Amino acid sequence: MRGADGKLEGLAPMFIWRRYDGKRQLSFVGSGISDYCGIICAENKKDLFAREFLNFILNSASDLWDVCLLEDIQSSSPLLTAVAQTPLLNAWRGAVCPSVCLPDSFEKYMAGLARSKRERLERSQKKLARLGMHVESVSRQEDVPRALEIFFSLHEKSWKHRGQEGVINTDALKGFYRAASTALAEAGILRIYLMSIRSGGSKNYIAALYAMFHRGRAYCYLGGFDPEFEKLSAGSVAVMHAIKEAIESRISEFDFLRGAEPHKYTWGANDSFNWNISGLSRGVN
């Protein structure tokens, strides 16, 4: 959308698709597969843009859709304030997103974990250290292609071990990750953690974690590991290194994204929730 001066004020990536019942549904691009959806705009424009966006879809664009379903909106989104003033739309609680509020030091964070969790991490670290463990944090654009291929391989190995394909299982998806990762690295957001050990004089990668740091928040997105080292909890140690770097980078929250998987809560995570907005166009029953 553009302001009166013609300058771009914000973006709201949308698409319209025809449902099984014939109705045209308006949704955010990425709905269903993205942890968070919403509008993109400058911080000082967010409240105004949220109101303008809802006004646009309810009035100017109302003849293009029958059903509006805007899913997985963060609880901090200005859309939730704006929708409260819009009787034609309703907001309702959606997916759970566990996250950890980080203290100002890694020592404080570790002290706050359950004793059993600390002891498991310490044992795993010692065993991996004896194998020559090294964890590198890849963030430079020129290093991303190599790191991504290692990440792809480990992600595939760990999912095949469970009898599943994983979520990066096509060339098209890998192409998207390559393009997105390059842009994220250029913006200073991307972090790919690679864990390796020394084996026969060569480096053997055994775990990887794909994460993003942005505006005081770290997002723990996807991981992968070599099943041969599953008992050493290499993946968990990689997450611990990501949390340590987040604290050192003055990140205040470590977000495990959608899903209430039990392992997230062992890191001290508490629930927050996404929200969904829905409504019918005028004249639709």
Q: Any idea where the domains of the chain sit in the sequence?
A: 10-96+273-280, 103-251
- For residue 230, the Cα-to-chain-centroid distance in whole angstroms is 24
* pLDDT of the residue at 11: 85
The answer to whether the 10-96+273-280 and 103-251 domains have the same CATH topology is yes
Q: Are 217 and 202 within 8 A, CB to CB?
A: no
What 8-state DSSP symbol labels residue 167? S
Helix (H) or strand (E) holding 134: strand 134-138
* pLDDT of the residue at 7: 53
All residues at 6 or more sequence positions from 238 whose CB lies less than 8 Å from its CB, including other chains: 135, 193, 195, 207, 208, 209, 223, 225
CA angle 156, 96, 159 (to 5 degrees): 10
CATH topology of domain 10-96+273-280: Aminopeptidase (3.40.630)
Rounded average pLDDT per 10-residue block, the chain, 285 residues: 57 93 95 92 89 92 95 95 91 97 98 97 96 96 97 95 88 95 97 92 92 97 93 95 98 97 97 96 68
Structure tokens at 162: 């469970």
CATH topology of domain 103-251: Aminopeptidase (3.40.630)
- pTM for this model (two decimals): 0.91
All residues at 6 or more sequence positions from 196 whose CB lies less than 8 Å from its CB, including other chains: 133, 134, 135, 136, 203, 204, 205, 206
* pLDDT of the residue at 283: 62
